[in-house]
Amino acid sequence: MMSNLPLEILLFFHKWYLYLYLMVSVIISIHKTHSLYFPPSTLDWEITMLVFLLILEHIRLSTASYANKTCDQQLILRSLVLGLLGVLGHTFFVRMQTWVLGVDIVINSIALGLVCLEILLSAYMLIA
């Protein structure tokens, strides 16, 4: 089994996209708090979900990169499981937030696409 260069490139750019995602999400959250109505404690829940998603994505990207470089099948499986959780998290932010703006849809759709491609490449690496 050899490491997968396209996967590593995708993971590298996804790490940078994660920082962009964080900045845009903070700006959107500030905008939402000032201009939209939230039921009590809903905003706290959404911000907590965002923090957990960002931590999960950072751990997943680090694990997937290390697994790709060392060709460790157990770590690849862990990154696949974390990837599925990441898909659920981004799906929450696209479909189930209190207020979903167009920017939310765009940034989370891009993240979903990256995560899905990384899952496919990791699964291919596991099979091959």
CB distance 14 to 79 below 8 Å: no
pTM summary value? 0.92
Distance (Å, rounded) from C-alpha 45 to C-alpha 88?
16
Distance (Å, rounded) from C-alpha 57 to C-alpha 123?
18
Q: What is the 3-state secondary structure (H, E, C) of 58-115?
A: HHHHHHHHHHHHHCCHHHHHHHHHHHHHHHHHHHHHHHCCCCCCHHHHHHHHHHHHHH
- Render pLDDT for 19-75 as a digit per residue (tens, 0 to 9): 999 999 999 999 998 999 888 888 889 999 999 999 999 999 999 999 999 999 999
72 phi-psi bin (left φ>0, alpha ψ -120 to 50, beta other): beta
pLDDT interval class at 3 (50, 70, 90): confident
pLDDT at 92 over 80: yes
Q: Which residues contact 84 (CB under 8 A, 6 or more apart)?
A: 119
Instruction: Kindly report the average pLDDT of the chain as a whole number.
Output: 94
